[in-house]
Each structure stands twice: as C-alpha cells, then as structure tokens.
Amino acid sequence: MVRLETHPFTEDDLADAGRLLAARHRRHRAVHPLLSPQYDDAGAAEAEVAAALAAEDASGAVATRGGEAVAFLLGAPRSGAAWGENVFVDSAGHATADGEGAETTRELYAAAAARWVDAGRTAHYVLLPSSEAAAVDGWFRLGFGLQQTHALREPPTRPPAVRDGLVVRTPTRDDIPVLARLDLELPRHHAISPTFSAAAVPSYEESLAYWEEDFDNPDFLNVVAEHGGRVVATASCCRLEKSSTHTGPARPERAWFLSFAAVLPEARGIGAGRAVAEAVLDHARTDPAYDVLVTDWREPNLTSSRAWRALGFRDSFWRLHRLVGR
Ligand SMILES: CC(C)(COP(=O)(O)OP(=O)(O)OC[C@H]1O[C@@H](n2cnc3c(N)ncnc32)[C@H](O)[C@@H]1OP(=O)(O)O)[C@@H](O)C(=O)NCCC(=O)NCCS
C-alpha cells in the first residue's frame, strides 16, 4: 500500500474533504436511511466542512496516499465551561475513505492533536457515525471512549398503550413546581456516578423561573405522568429545527426531537419514563410532514441509555471523548 502522509488542513483541502464526507454519509445512509440525503452530494458536504473551517481557531489534518486525500480531521474549540479546554470535532469534521483502517485514524489524530495540546486544549471530542467501525476502532485505540450517543427511529404506527397504574396527561400551570423539580433530576443524575458530568446543576428557584416563563412556549410539547395520584415524570419534545443540537450531517429532515425526560428517583423503573416519552413522541405519528424521531443521551447514564434503546432508538452518531494527560 502507498505510504500514508499527513499535512495540516487548509482551504485547499475543502473539495477533497467534501468528497470524503459525502462518501461517508452515503455509507451511513445505507445503515440509516432516515438520515438526510442532502449530504450525499459532495458540494453540500463541502459547505459543511467549510463552515467547520470558518470556526474560530479551527485546525486539523489531512491524510493522503500518493497525493490523494484519504481522510481528514477538523475541529475547533467549543465555548462552555463544562467542555474544558477543548477541541470539538463535529459531525462534518471527520471522514475516512472506505477501506482505510484504524491506523489511518491514528496517524490523522497524531498529526492534528499535537497542535491542540500545545495550545493547552487537552479535552478532545469527536462526533462520528457509530457504523464507521474501522475509524471507531482507531479512536478507541487512541484512548477515546463513548461519551454521548445520538439515535434515530421511525415514528410509532399506533398510539402507545399506557401501563396500569399510570395516568398520562398534558400539564397545567399547577404542575409548574413539580416540573421545576423534575427539570433538576437530569443534571443531578448526570452529576453523580457513573456519569460524573461537569455541567452545573441549576437551583430549584432558577428552574421554577424558567418554567414560569417557558410554560406556554408553543415550540415544545410536554406531558406528565401520575402514579399513585401524584406527578412522577415528564417529557418534552419539539420539531428538530427548533433545537440547536443534531446539526449538519447529524440532522435528519422532518424530525421530532425527544429533548427531555425525567422521572423522580423513587418512581424509576416502573414504566413512567416509557409512558411520557412515548406520549410526546406520538405527535410524530399524527404529523404527516414528519417521519423521523431523534434523541441523544450520555452513554454512561445507565437509565437513559437503557430506556431509549428499549423504546426502539438505534445508535446513529457517537461522540467519543479523551482527556489528555490525566
Ligand atoms: C431515563 C428515565 C427517564 C427512564 O425512565 P424510567 O421510568 O426509569 O424507565 P422505564 O421504567 O419506563 O423503563 C423503560 C425501559 O428501560 C429499560 N430499563 C429500565 N430499567 C432498566 C434496567 N435496570 N436494566 C435494563 N433495562 C432497563 C427497560 O427495557 C424498559 O423497557 P420496558 O418497558 O420494555 O421494560 C429515568 O430513569 C430518569 O429520569 N433518569 C434520570 C434522568 C435522565 O437520564 N433523563 C433522560 C435524559 S436523556
């Protein structure tokens, strides 16, 4: 095989990167036809890579064989204290030609990461299709692990059956205190073992103020579930275009997004999470313009990683993470 060489990513590499990304996306769509066909096209893919290159302090590397680009990696720092001193490679920031193995990924990262670490950016994140097995193997053997999962499924074909003992309904303003409490359950759950997220946990008062202001937001649909006569669970969803997450090739068209769900700790595992999630997602079944459901979760979160796969969500993208020097 012709020897692999690497060079820093520049504007001259955009066309090659667009071609590699479009090819990656076509492979990904063979596994996940629910993804947008838009990025099958090298021009549309190149525009996403160009946007990634335009980000402040973007940098990366390209791997070539005999002068032909076979892989690229492009990241930029993301703001937000919880990310640490970071470089974040988003869904359009990395692609490897079919047939290239894990060693190509390892050489590519070695070429890009020296600059990142020299700049003091030691928290590295890369979002890539979970089906890119050779690349995932390469990242794993670079010290990366699975931090976050994005997933897709088709809408349900019939209304959900609610388990005996649970009542699912639309919340009223009287539910705002319990909604505020439930809103804290996710960051609280993420802060503890085994997720250990660094994200701040808001106060109850902040959560209450948020709900007072946002309760009537027409973009979000909310439901609650009662068990034994009291509210124990909630879930929210919105059309994905109302959310700033799941961008670029990771954004399916015509998708509803399960954006939030929480169950009080003492009521977990009795079907309340399934009941509220299925109830909000049922909107997609009755919305003729939408035919995809998306969500995401912290993979070390034992509860959501089990529950959402049990609801039929299939992994599409994985965010891998490495903290250098720890
Ligand atoms: C995630 C969460 C909403 C799920 O709700 P829940 O009420 O605990 O889950 P359910 O009882 O409805 O179970 C749903 C599915 O998860 C799976 N599941 C639940 N507990 C499980 C366990 N201990 N082991 C394996 N699978 C399990 C089951 O397959 C179940 O499907 P089933 O109905 O076919 O049995 C809830 O646990 C929670 O609030 N977690 C903390 C906050 C959070 O992570 N929110 C989600 C943000 S992405």
Each residue's pLDDT tens digit, 90-145: 999 999 999 999 999 999 999 999 999 999 999 999 999 999 999 999 999 999 99
Residue 306 Cα to ligand 1 midpoint, Å, equals: 6
CA–CA separation, 315 and 306 (whole Å): 12
Atom of ligand 1 nearest to the CA of 295: 48
Among positive and negative, which fits the CA dihedral 113, 118, 124, 126?
negative
Among positive and negative, which fits the CA dihedral 140, 144, 146, 151?
negative
Residue 163 Cα to ligand 1 midpoint, Å, equals: 14
- Dihedral pair phi/psi, residue 118, rounded to 5°: -60, -30
Residue 286 Cα to ligand 1 midpoint, Å, equals: 25
Give residue 326's pLDDT: 63
> Nearest to residue 89, comparing CAs of 9, 15, 13, 153?
9
DSSP at 76:
B
Q: Do domains 4-142 and 166-316 have the same CATH topology?
A: yes
Atom of ligand 1 nearest to the CA of 262: 39
CATH code at 166-316: 3.40.630.30
> Nearest to residue 295, comparing CAs of 285, 286, 282, 305?
305
Residue 231 Cα to ligand 1 midpoint, Å, equals: 17
Atom of ligand 1 nearest to the CA of 258: 48
Give residue 46's pLDDT: 98
With a 6 A CB cut-off, is 258 part of the ligand 1 pocket?
Answer: no
Atom of ligand 1 nearest to the CA of 267: 7
Residue nearest to atom 8 of ligand 1 (CA): 268
* Residue at token pair 């892989």: 71
Atom of ligand 1 nearest to the CA of 235: 3
Residue 303 Cα to ligand 1 midpoint, Å, equals: 5
With a 6 A CB cut-off, is 189 part of the ligand 1 pocket?
Answer: yes
Spell out the residues 6+ positions from residue 52 whose beta carbon is closer than 8 angstroms to its own: 58, 74, 75, 76, 90, 92, 93
- pLDDT digit string (tens) for 65-86? 999 999 999 999 999 989 999 9
Residue 221 Cα to ligand 1 midpoint, Å, equals: 20
CATH class label, 4-142: alpha beta
CA–CA separation, 69 and 82 (whole Å): 34
Give residue 139's pLDDT: 98
Give residue 28's pLDDT: 98
Residue nearest to atom 48 of ligand 1 (CA): 297
CA torsion angle for 132, 137, 140, 144 (degrees, to 10)? -20
Atom of ligand 1 nearest to the CA of 265: 39
Task: State in Å, rounded, how far the first CA of the chain is from the last one.
Answer: 36
Extents of the domains making up the chain:
4-142, 166-316
Give residue 38's pLDDT: 97
Residue 203 Cα to ligand 1 midpoint, Å, equals: 25
Residue 214 Cα to ligand 1 midpoint, Å, equals: 26
Residue nearest to atom 17 of ligand 1 (CA): 307
Across the chain, which has 326 residues, the per-10-residue mean pLDDT values are 96 98 98 98 98 98 98 97 95 98 98 97 98 98 98 94 95 98 97 94 96 95 97 97 96 96 97 97 88 97 98 98 90
Asked if 273 and 257 count as a contact pair (C-beta separation under 8 A), the reply is no
